[in-house]
Structures are given as C-alpha cells and as structure tokens.
C-alpha cells in the first residue's frame, strides 16, 4: 500500500462539478493499493499516518500529530501511484490492485481512520475527480506499507 500524505490548510474533491469531500487543516492522503496488500497493510498505514508528527509546535518544530491539532483527512483512492514509468512513455499499471480489491482496502482504511476518531472525507472510487490541495509548508511524504518496503541487505 502506498500513501502520499500532504499537510494541508484545505483540500477538496469534486466529481461532475460537485464538491463531494472537503476538509480544512489536516492531510490530503492519496492512497494506492497493490496486489499483495492485505488488511494488515491497511492497519499499518492508518496507524503510521495518524502517528506522524508533521505539524509545527510552539517552537516551529515538526512535533505535533493530526490528533494534536484536531485535523481531518481527505482520503482519495489513486491507482496511478503504482504507475511504472521506467519503460516507454506510457505508464504501466500492472502493479495496481484490481478495482474490487483496491476498493475493499480503501474502504477498510476509511473505516479504521473513523474508528480512531479521525474525521474523514473521501473521493469517489473509480470516478474522474478534481482534487484541490492547498499544501501547507509544503509538507509532502510518501509512505509504503512494509510489504512494499525493499530492504537492501549486505
């Protein structure tokens, strides 16, 4: 599972010129799912995102979490995070999970955030969306769940 987390002052998603999700302070999380992802990956990535300390404290240090600042999450499914651009000019999306698997794990992440008391707004799975992101800082992080982390031993 791969997440692009952007600290935002506001973010929204529109489908067919209608706002379907909108937040103020918090994270816009673009979430990609690959074939090998499981509920354990969903749990891991949700806990990691909630625990990130990427909001500034009184001394200007990145030391406060989403819950510390009362922030929200705009969660947007994005299969293109698994686009492979190494060959040719057109990305290959063979590493992206099939829609039924991706939608199930995307929904699981949404539920897990809510179960932990986080206010969550969402995009619309498989819809053409316009996502507006007012990146704060800018602060942008990319996180892969452990199943995706490649360790170079030796």
Residues with catalytic function: 78-80
Between the two ends of the chain, the Cα-to-Cα distance in Å is 26
Angstrom CA distances, 11 to 37, 65, 120, stand at 27, 18, 12
CB hemisphere CA count around 66 (13 angstroms): 27
From 54, 95, 97, select the one nearest 77 (Cα to Cα): 97
């Amino acid at each position: 599972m791969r997440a692009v987390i952007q600290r935002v002052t506001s973010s929204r998603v529109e489908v067919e010129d209608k706002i379907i999700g909108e937040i103020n302070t918090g994270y816009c999380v673009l979430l990609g799912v690959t074939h090998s992802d499981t509920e354990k990956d969903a749990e891991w990535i949700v806990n990691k995102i909630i625990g990130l300390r990427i909001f500034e404290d009184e001394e200007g240090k990145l030391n406060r979490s989403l819950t510390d600042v009362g922030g929200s999450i705009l969660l947007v499914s994005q299969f293109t995070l698994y686009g492979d651009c190494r060959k040719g000019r057109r990305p290959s999306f063979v590493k992206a999970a099939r829609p039924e698997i991706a939608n199930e794990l995307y929904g699981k992440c949404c539920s897990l955030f809510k179960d932990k008391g986080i206010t969550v707004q969402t995009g619309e799975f498989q819809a053409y969306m316009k996502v507006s992101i007012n990146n704060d800082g800018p602060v942008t992080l990319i996180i892969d769940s452990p199943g995706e982390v490649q360790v170079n031993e030796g």
